[in-house]
């Protein structure tokens, strides 16, 4: 049987958190901890969590680690509080991110390149890279401490997942929530596809673009006037079909000095070059010919800029429309309309009959963003953005350019290719989100978001202004849209399952990607005389797939139907703030369309993790440390706690700083570890001394002191707080409270009880203190297990050796319950007051530059709560005197004996209400006597100048009186009316105590330098330095004599004068000079047994062999235990060796 229950642990400076975490990972792997936890929790209620799928074509970054940590904390907590929590990882495998990588790899520039290669070849190239970094993802996520199932992950490219996506689409189609339409959409020319509005909002940049003023001569105008329009997209001008003005604005015919007449909004005259002087008046030679309302300009015709669409559009186009969307903020109040490239342009032109639904839309821009026929020959093949300068040149040549400049403005870029977007009319399948608006808003109300303002403002506003969602992409690698149509589009068949496709096509289907099904034809339901139906080319936007994951990961409704329907909506989801217009939005739209329910009940939205300079983290700029470096240098627990104890869990940005992670390690984990190590050291010490294994007492059976009761009560309060806050998913309140508790445990309980834990107050009290510390550390391990899974596992595996029953892992333990009978509000308040007193006392010492090592004689504590003062003056008194190094304290419950009570008006509350009376009423309040203020306080209100002033509208404070004999007294106010008065007079006996304390500190530093343990038995010897003054030598000897008890209590021995008779082993030595100037030499020695060989030989009857055997036995005995044996048996100990017994006498055969 082992001599110790707890294994020894190294010093904090030698403990490597990252190395120990690697060992814990191996331990978890050996016991298959995660899956074992799942097995143990089978049969419990389900807690359903949806994990948004990332792309594996890129490496994980801090944003992923942050979101993963939040998810891990919540799911670990749910598992520990009685739920079965399945956690499956998911992969987003389709879409532009994958195609973009392949396009770069293979040098693909256009859609025709893919068709020439073959869709099958292209798609299989995509399939090869979708899991490129899956191993790195699994390694990083596992290393960060997150438990999630990679064995049973879901992938959006799996047949079953894709089949459920088809079901989602068909269900929405059958509900009349899907249509194929023509809409102006953000368009990525680099990726040859439209993107959704929320994707377009992901990457806005400040860019410099041309800003041109262009003239549009009015047809048949007697004054030869021209409309002037302003645009920052000259490339759209060849497709101009109309102009638009605001019907409510006043427009002017503005004539310049040479007779040219411009039509612009009156409020925008200054936009015309030279029209206004510095005084904001019309310049000389300029005049307004007439003014008209915008509505009077409707249907005026003008000469088109280019003739390319003049013939086919002459009957409807090239005239003025009116609409309220035209503003005065920029431009001329006249907006040029190119319906193929602007959402408002398309709407206005459709409303005014410029174009019609189903008709051809002039659009001389191909899918690559290049001009095509019938554009002028010199522009064909040019990228539209690159062609701006050529179009400006043409405008100048045809005398239609009024002015040309540049403007810096915010412009959307493709989040994947990082190229400028354009707006372009495309044919697409749409979800009728606008029809769902009211249901979406109602379903949003049913969800709980943290922080709530993201739900109530950002997400609510987005839902209020939703547009129909374009879900199709004219691409290749994705889930094909399951729509088969006849050549003329008259017959449509939407497929909702593999079985349905096999039945209708007559062919077996093993994969749903384009190159496996595009060739499949479905016979027309109208008969053999009609052509077969073929699939449309489009694939789903990958956001539609990720929004379908609640159903597709379960292969619903084809499998797991009852399980899904029983557990929908999910209990919890979490992602970053950017997903309010991404995954959170698509989840809500699809669940509302399918079931008229939200997809989730609770949501945590985190902010963005930025580089330390506040910029976006960038691989090219190398402005952030690699996550693997942080994990290897500081460990995952420190990184986790740093991230979730920051503003980022309140959806605010976090500037990531490596020193912040180090600070968590130093200020949280090391003190916590040291408290744990201190327990282990003292348990092992007691076991060594008593030769009995440590068994912690149950708290109900233990005689507890005040700080025992306090830390037990605080831990109970902590558990109740965590449970309440975690129910509300408020990590931002829980983690600071946990860290504060760790600080309380290490800085108050352990530090204030070091003597008790070392056994200074007797064995019974030591057992009680060790038991309390043990139970609190075990409770803290259980409470912190969702947050710092590695460190608590390391401690638990050691601590569980003292438990009667335990689990194989801390993560199999239930979360602590609130224990009835252990909550003590009074003691929590009293200890809080004690801490306030100590802080005030330290502040006074610092202010007066009075070091803590210098004792002070007395302190008076004043507080109106007599019950609290009773605790302060009795059970808590010793802690205050020790921490502040004060000899005695006195108390008073009469604050008015020491201070006057004053009132001051709260200007924030009273200012608006009182108005001009504020000054006079303020003066009255400030001049109130103590008696008046007390009466005011008792009544709760007072009438002043016919105004009722409530006590809550003033601030009460104490103002110290001038006390007699107070020249050396320093006073300070604390919380809730607490006052302290410290006598700062320095006395000789106090100076001696200060020197004694300094001697102890020097000796303790020497012990630490040679790594002595608590229970190491040593002897301390001093030697006077020759030549030192008699006074200093006398001071030293006096202090060593007067403070013998103090030295014994703190060092376990009393320093002795060195003599030649000392036969101890020297461990270390040092020359010491104290702050008082006293100097001496110190030696720390290990005591050894001294044998009188002659007497021992005589006791052994001169049998040399027997003498040698007993000598060896004596020298092998541990000094301290041997000494105690003599003390217990009147200085005579009987030893037996080789069947022979002898009596040893203290001071004779042996000397100790």
Give me the catalytic one of 616, 690, 1005, 1031.
Answer: 616
CA atoms within 13 A on the CB side of 24: 29
DSSP for residue 521: E
Q: Which helix (H) or strand (E) holds 607?
A: none
28 is catalytic: no
**Which of the residues 469, 477, 543, 710 is marked catalytic?**
543
| Per-residue tokens: 1095 | 């007497």
Beta bridge partners of 383: 370
Segments of 348-421 assigned E as strands? 401-412
Q: In terms of DSSP bridges, do strands 941-944 and 899-905 run parallel, antiparallel, or are they unpaired?
A: unpaired
CB contact at 8 A, 1070 and 1006: yes
Pull the structure tokens for residue 1138: 């080789």
Asked about 286 being catalytic, the answer comes back as no
Q: Which of 137, 449, 484, 583 is catalytic?
A: 583
Q: In what order do the strands lie in the sheet with 1056-1057?
A: 1056-1057, 1019-1024, 1079-1086, 1065-1073
Q: Whole-angstrom Cα distance, residue 1019 to residue 1120?
A: 11
Q: Cis ω on the peptide bond leading into residue 451 (within 30° of 0)?
A: yes
Peptide bond into 557 cis (omega under 30): yes
Counting Cβ atoms within 10 Å, is residue 215 exposed (0-12), middle (13-18) or buried (19+)? buried
Strand order in the sheet with 193-194: 193-194, 178-188, 422-431, 469-470
53 labelled catalytic = yes
Cα(255)–Cα(257) distance, integer angstroms:
7
Number of H helices and E strands in the chain, helices first, is 43, 42
What token pair was written down for 64? 């992923």
Give the number of residues written for the chain: 1152
Return the SS3 of 973.
strand
Q: Is 616 a catalytic residue?
A: yes
**What are φ and ψ of residue 862, in 5° steps?**
-120, 130
Ramachandran area for residue 939 (φ above 0: left; ψ -120 to 50: alpha; else beta)? alpha
For 566, the enclosing helix (H) or strand (E) is helix 561-566
Burial 803-832 (b: 16+ CB within 10 A, else e): eeebeebbbbbebbeebeebbbeebbebbb
Inter-residue long-range contacts of 848-851, CB under 8 Å, 24+ positions, other chains counted: 848/970, 848/984, 850/984, 851/994
List 51, 92, 158, 824, catalytic entry: 92
Tell me which residue of 600, 595, 597, 569 sits closest to 171, measured CA to CA. 595
Q: Is 482 a catalytic residue?
A: no
Query: Which residues, including other chains, have CB under 8 Å from residue 1020's CB and lie 6 or more apart?
Result: 1003, 1051, 1053, 1054, 1055, 1056, 1082, 1083, 1084, 1085
Catalytic residue among 337, 553, 554, 579: 579
Contact between residue 106 and residue 125 where contact means Cβ atoms under 8 Å apart: yes
Measure the CA–CA gap between 1093 and 668, rounded to whole angstroms.
56
Question: How far is CA 222 from each of CA 245, 297, 487, rounded to the nearest angstrom?
Answer: 21, 15, 53
Find the catalytic residue in 619, 629, 690, 1121.
619
What does the block give as tokens for 992?
């001696």
What H or E segment, with its residue span, contains residue 981? strand 979-983
For residue 376, indicate whether it is catalytic.
no
Return the ∠ at Cα 115 (arms to 113 and 117), rounded to 5°.
Answer: 70
Active-site annotation holder among 18, 51, 53, 744: 53
Reply yes or no on whether 619 is catalytic. yes
CA–CA distance, 644 with 573 (Å, rounded to integer): 16
726, two tokens: 């975690």
Distance CA 548, CA 38 (A): 25
* Catalytic positions, written as ranges: 53, 92, 543, 579, 583, 616, 619
């Amino acid at each position: 049987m082992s001599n110790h229950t707890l294994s020894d642990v190294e010093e904090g400076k030698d403990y490597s958190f990252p190395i120990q975490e690697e060992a814990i990972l191996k331990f978890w792997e050996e016991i298959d901890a995660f899956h074992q936890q799942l097995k143990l929790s089978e049969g419990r209620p389900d807690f359903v969590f949806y994990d948004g799928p990332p792309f594996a074509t890129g490496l994980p970054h801090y944003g992923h680690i942050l979101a993963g940590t939040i998810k891990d904390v919540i799911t670990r907590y749910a598992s520990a509080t009685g739920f079965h929590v399945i956690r499956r990882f998911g992969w987003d495998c389709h879409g532009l991110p994958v195609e973009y990588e392949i396009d770069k790899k293979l040098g693909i520039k256009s859609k025709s390149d893919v068709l020439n290669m073959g869709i099958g070849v292209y798609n299989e190239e995509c399939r090869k890279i979708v899991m490129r970094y899956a191993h790195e993802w699994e390694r990083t996520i596992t290393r960060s401490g997150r438990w999630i199932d990679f064995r049973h992950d879901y992938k959006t490219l799996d047949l079953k997942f894709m089949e459920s996506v088809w079901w989602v689409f068909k269900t929405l189609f059958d509900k009349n929530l899907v249509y194929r339409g023509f809409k102006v959409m953000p368009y990525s020319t680099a990726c040859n596809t439209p993107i959704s509005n929320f994707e377009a909002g992901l990457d806005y940049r400040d860019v410099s673009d041309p800003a041109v003023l262009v003239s549009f001569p009015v047809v048949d105008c007697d004054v030869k006037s021209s409309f002037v329009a302003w645009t920052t997209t000259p490339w759209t001008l060849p497709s101009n079909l109309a102009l638009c003005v605001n019907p409510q604005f006043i427009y002017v015919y503005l004539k310049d000095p040479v007779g040219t007449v411009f039509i612009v909004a009156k409020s925008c005259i200054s936009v015309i070059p030279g029209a206004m002087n510095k005084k904001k008046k019309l310049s000389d030679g300029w005049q307004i010919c007439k003014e008209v309302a915008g509505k009077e300009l409707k249907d005026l015709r003008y000469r088109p800029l280019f003739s390319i669409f003049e013939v086919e559009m002459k009957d409807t186009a090239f005239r003025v429309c009116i609409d309220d969307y035209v503003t005065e903020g920029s431009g001329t109040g006249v907006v040029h309309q190119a319906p193929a490239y602007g959402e408002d342009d398309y709407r206005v032109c459709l409303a005014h009959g410029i174009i019609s639904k189903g008709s051809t839309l002039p659009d001389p821009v191909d899918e690559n963003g290049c001009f095509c026929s019938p554009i002028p020959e010199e522009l064909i093949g040019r990228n539209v953005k690159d062609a701006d300068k050529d179009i400006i040149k043409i405008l100048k040549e045809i005398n239609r350019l009024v002015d040309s400049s540049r403007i810096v403005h915010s412009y959307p870029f493709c989040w994947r290719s990082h190229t400028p977007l354009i707006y372009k009319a495309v044919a697409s399948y749409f979800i009728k989100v606008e029809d769902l608006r009211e249901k979406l808003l109602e379903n949003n109300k049913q969800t709980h978001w943290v922080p709530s303002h993201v739900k109530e403002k950002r997400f609510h506003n987005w839902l209020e202004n939703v547009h129909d969602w374009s879900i199709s992409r004219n691409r290749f690698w994705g889930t094909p849209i399951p729509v088969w149509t006849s050549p003329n589009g008259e017959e449509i068949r939407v497929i909702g399952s593999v079985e349905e496709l096999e039945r209708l096509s007559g062919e077996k289907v093993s994969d749903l990607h384009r190159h496996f099904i595009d060739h499949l034809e479905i016979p027309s339901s109208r008969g053999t005389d009609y052509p077969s139906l073929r699939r449309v080319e489009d694939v789903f936007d990958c956001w539609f797939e990720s929004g379908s994951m609640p159903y597709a990961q379960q292969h619903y409704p084809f499998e797991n139907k009852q399980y899904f329907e029983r557990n929908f909506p999910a209990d919890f989801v979490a992602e970053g703030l950017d997903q309010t217009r991404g995954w959170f939005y698509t989840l809500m739209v699809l669940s509302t369309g399918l079931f008229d329910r939200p997809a989730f009940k609770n949501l945590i939205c985190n902010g963005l993790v930025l580089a330390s300079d506040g910029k976006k983290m960038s691989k090219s700029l190398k402005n952030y440390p690699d996550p693997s470096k942080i994990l290897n240098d500081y460990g995952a627990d420190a990184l986790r706690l740093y991230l979730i104890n920051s503003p980022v869990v309140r959806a605010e940005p976090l500037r990531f700083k490596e020193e912040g992670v180090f600070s968590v390690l130093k200020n949280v984990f090391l003190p916590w570890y040291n408290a744990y190590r201190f327990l282990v050291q003292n348990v092992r010490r007691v076991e060594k001394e008593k030769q009995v294994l440590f068994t912690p007492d149950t708290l109900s059976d233990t005689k507890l002191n005040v700080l025992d009761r306090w830390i037990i009560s605080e831990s109970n309060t902590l558990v109740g707080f965590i449970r309440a806050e975690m129910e509300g998913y408020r990590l931002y309140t829980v983690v600071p409270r946990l860290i504060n508790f760790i600080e309380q445990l290490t800085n108050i309980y352990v530090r204030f009880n070091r003597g008790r834990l070392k056994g200074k107050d007797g064995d019974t009290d030591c057992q009680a203190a060790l038991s309390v510390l043990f139970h609190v550390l075990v409770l803290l391990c259980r409470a912190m297990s969702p947050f710092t899974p590695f460190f608590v596992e390391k401690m638990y595996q050691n601590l569980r050796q003292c438990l009667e029953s335990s689990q194989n892992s801390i993560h199999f333990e239930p979360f602590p319950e609130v224990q009835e009978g252990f909550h003590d509000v009074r003691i929590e308040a009293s200890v809080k007051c004690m801490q306030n007193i100590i802080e005030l006392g330290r502040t006074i010492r610092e202010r007066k530059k009075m070091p803590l090592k210098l004792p002070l004689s007395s302190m008076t504590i004043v507080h109106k709560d007599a019950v609290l003062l009773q605790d302060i003056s009795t059970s808590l008194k010793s802690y205050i005197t020790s921490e502040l190094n004060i000899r005695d304290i006195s108390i008073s419950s009469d604050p008015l004996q020491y201070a006057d009570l004053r009132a001051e008006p709260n200007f924030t509350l009273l200012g608006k209400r009182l108005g001009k009376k504020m000054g006079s009423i303020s003066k009255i309040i400030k001049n109130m006597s103590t008696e008046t203020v007390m009466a005011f306080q008792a009544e709760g209100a007072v009438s002043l100048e016919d105004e009722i002033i409530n006590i809550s509208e003033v601030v009460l404070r104490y103002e110290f009186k001038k006390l007699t004999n107070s020249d050396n007294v320093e006073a300070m106010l604390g919380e809730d009316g607490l006052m302290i008065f410290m006598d700062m007079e320095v006395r000789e006996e106090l100076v001696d105590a200060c020197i004694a304390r300094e001697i102890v500190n020097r000796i303790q530093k020497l012990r630490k330098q040679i790594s002595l343990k608590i229970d190491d038995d040593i002897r301390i010897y001093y030697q006077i330095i020759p030549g030192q003054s008699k006074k200093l030598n006398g001071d030293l000897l006096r202090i060593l004599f007067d403070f013998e008890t103090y030295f014994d209590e703190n060092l376990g021995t009393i320093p002795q004068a060195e003599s030649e008779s000392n036969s101890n082993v020297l461990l270390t030595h040092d020359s010491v000079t104290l702050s008082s100037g006293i100097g001496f030499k110190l030696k720390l020695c290990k005591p050894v047994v001294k044998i009188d060989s002659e007497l021992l030989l005589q006791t052994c009857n001169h049998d040399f062999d027997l003498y040698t055997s007993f000598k060896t036995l004596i020298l092998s005995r541990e000094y301290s235990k041997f000494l105690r044996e003599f003390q217990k048996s009147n200085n005579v100990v009987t030893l037996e060796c080789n069947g022979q017994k002898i009596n040893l006498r203290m001071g004779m055969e042996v000397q100790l």
